[in-house]
Amino acid sequence: MSRLSLDNRVFVPVENTDNGVVSGTTRFHFWQEGMVFFADYFGGDVREGHIIGQFDETGRGHMLYHCLTTERDLKAGKAIAEFTKFEDGRVAMDLNWEWITKNGQPGDTFQGRSRYEELTERELMK
């Protein structure tokens, strides 16, 4: 894939392992500066969350994230994302992730996989 820009793209999870927090009602709003990207996310069980990441030379994204859930759990993790582009120009990301804290405590290191897909203009209008 040529150099990818996540700037102004909105993603929604379409697959997630059971120990994940996000769902189909969680929205990820990305922006990008060079090889560094950021996102804010919320919805479903997530009250508020943030991502900071960067692309490596192969195009994979390495990210750190944290969120506060609606149950007031404070969680943090890390992930590696692989990106694919649909024929219509939208982007999908497949993440291998790992919780590194739960409620501010180290040691709760559950792992999982997720797939996020970019919303179309029509889906954003709903």
- In this predicted structure, what is the pLDDT of residue 2? 54
Alpha-carbon dihedral 87, 91, 95, 100, rounded to 10 degrees: 180
Domain that holds residue 87: 25-117
| pTM given for the model | 0.89
- In this predicted structure, what is the pLDDT of residue 1? 46
Contacts of 83 (CB under 8 A, 6+ apart): 1, 4, 59, 60, 61, 91, 92, 93, 94
Does a structural domain hold residue 108? yes
- In this predicted structure, what is the pLDDT of residue 107? 55
pLDDT in tens, 67-84: 999 999 899 999 999 999
Does a structural domain hold residue 123? no
Band the pLDDT of 110: cuts 50, 70, 90.
confident
- In this predicted structure, what is the pLDDT of residue 101? 80
Does a structural domain hold residue 81? yes
Band the pLDDT of 18: cuts 50, 70, 90.
confident
Residue 54 belongs to a domain with what CATH number? 2.40.128.30
Does a structural domain hold residue 18? no
Count Cβ atoms within 10 A of the Cβ of residue 69 and give its class: 0-12 exposed, 13-18 middle, 19 or more buried. middle
Count of domains for the chain: 1
Structure tokens that stand for 63 in this block: 């990210």
Does a structural domain hold residue 15? no
